[in-house]
Amino acid sequence: MSDPIDKLGRQVRTADARMIVGALHEGESVLGALMGLSVGARADVKALLGRADLLRDPAGVKQVLRGIIGARSVETPNELLWTTPGLRAQSGGLTTSLVGLVENAKESIVCSTYNFQTSSGMWQALRRAARRRLEMRIYIDREAAKGGRSPTVIDVAQQLAPATIFRTRYVEGHALRNHAKFFVIDHRALVVTSANFSWSAENNNVELGLKVIDPQLARRVEVELTDLERSVYEQVTL
């Protein structure tokens, strides 16, 4: 029978490994931390951890998964990021790898999106980043969550505090729409993606993004957003 740790290292996705480590760090049990995985991935990881006698050993699980994450941590300057049903994409990385990029942020996160869904791995990663008190600026559509099940702009401001949250303004009686989806991490990594911040966009849809490590380009995006705050966005206050 193959070594369960070796098989886990070949099978578990990096984003899932980071999500589990983050949940364990917040005090979840091993089984509780696995609840954020898809049903199929949860069953596979649970079985492998059971075979390794780690289901009651959060510290051991963190050690194993951090080793797996570290082994995969070589950064490439430019990378395609795909979401495809059944993980069928053969080139580039996965949209879910954005979770790891946020988890590894050391200074700042700038994020623009239409809305958030709490099923999103990115939403949970941003909440953890907010608790680390990084410099965070979030740009979101004013009316995206009105009447829906997604967090409202006020919810986002409350749950990502102390991040600075901006929403689109009303201009001539109409709310401007924010549909750009991108991240700037630590003033150097820029990710532009078609994916919304939802479980489906990160796991099931066909989505394409591009990660570029270019401090000059990242800075241009940040400066442009700051300029747009005077006419397109307004800060959300609680």
Per-residue pLDDT of 33-59, as tens digits, reads 999 888 888 998 999 999 999 999 999
Q: Please list the alpha-helical segments (H only) found in the chain.
A: 4-11, 14-25, 30-34, 39-51, 58-71, 98-103, 121-131, 153-159, 199-203, 215-228
Look at the chain and report how many structural domains it folds into.
Answer: 2
The per-residue pLDDT for range 154-194, each reduced to its tens digit, is 999 999 999 999 999 999 999 999 999 999 999 999 999 99
Same domain, 123 and 187: yes
Same domain, 156 and 195: yes
> pTM of the full predicted structure?
0.71
State the first-to-last Cα distance of the chain, in angstroms, to the nearest integer.
57
User: Which of 202, 223, 113 has the alpha carbon at shortest distance from 160?
Assistant: 113
What are the distances in angstroms from CA 173 to CA 37, 94, 167, 176, 183?
43, 40, 15, 10, 29
Same domain, 84 and 65: no
Same domain, 66 and 82: no
- Domain containing 58 equals 4-71
CB atoms within 10 A of CB 226: 12
Same domain, 192 and 97: yes
Query: Which has the higher per-residue pLDDT, 202 or 169?
Result: 169
Contact 171, 177 (CB under 8 A): no
User: Which of 57, 59, 26, 55 has the alpha carbon at shortest distance from 42?
Assistant: 55
Same domain, 102 and 44: no
How high is the pLDDT of residue 74? Answer: 59
Same domain, 66 and 97: no
Same domain, 13 and 96: no
Same domain, 159 and 217: yes
74: which DSSP letter?
P
Same domain, 113 and 138: yes
Query: Which has the higher per-residue pLDDT, 228 or 95?
Result: 228
Same domain, 44 and 90: no
Last residue of a domain, one of 39, 56, 71: 71
Same domain, 63 and 118: no
